[in-house]
Amino acid sequence: MPGIIGQKLGMSQVLQDDGRVIPVTFVKCSPNTIVQVKTKEKDGYPALVLGFDAYKNPSKNKKFKMVREFRVEKPENYQKDQKFELKGLEGIKAVTVTSQSKGKGMQGVVRKYHFAGGPATHGSTFHREPGAVGARSKPGRVHKGKHLPGHMGYEQVTLKDRPVILLAPDKELIAIKGPIPGPNKGYVFLKF
């Protein structure tokens, strides 16, 4: 199994036998369904397209709320409508987690880039502004990469080799050590 799609439930903690308390994030991994098997001859590269979180009233073309592609070496070992579950992953020690971080909307430079800002009193007109943005007439423009206000968050974040603390296939749950980006009920992609 190359990977699986899950849904973040939230954070909790797991108590170990030696008394340690480990913070974990629980991810619910309901059975994933293979929507399409891509081959090198037909599509140019071998991959599996997995579907997760099926619609209650699916249409002809949209049957799952989340569809994700995972690369594989031998696509001939898989077939369409095959189910992927957590039952075959008892020996797994670590996973690579990919998800979308929480969106923060439009933010200024103090929040986005940790600018110090200017004095708050004594008639200062420079509080939370970015300050000067360009040079003189020689370049006549603002240089690329200048830190200015803009959209913050809602970016794809990948965490590699996150330890798996608990695996409960009967409850379709996997507990991953530490926080995972994104909101609760957000989609999470796990690679093994």
pLDDT digits (tens, 9 = 90+) for 135-153: 878 888 998 999 999 999 9
Q: What is the number of residues in the chain? A: 192
Domain around 149: 107-153
> How far is 36 from 11, CA to CA, in rounded Å?
33
Each residue's pLDDT tens digit, 62-108: 999 999 999 999 989 999 999 988 887 888 999 999 999 999 999 99
Tell me, yes or no, whether 115 and 21 share the same domain: no
Contact (Cβ atoms closer than 8 angstroms) between residue 189 and residue 5:
yes
Q: How many domains does the chain divide into?
A: 2
Indicate the average pLDDT of the chain.
93
Structure pTM?
A: 0.85
Residue ranges with strand state E in the chain: 3-15, 21-28, 32-38, 47-54, 64-71, 83-84, 94-100, 103-107, 150-153, 156-168, 173-177, 187-191
Q: What is the CATH number of the domain that holds 162?
A: 2.40.30
Give the pLDDT of residue 168.
Answer: 92
Query: pLDDT at position 1, please?
Result: 75
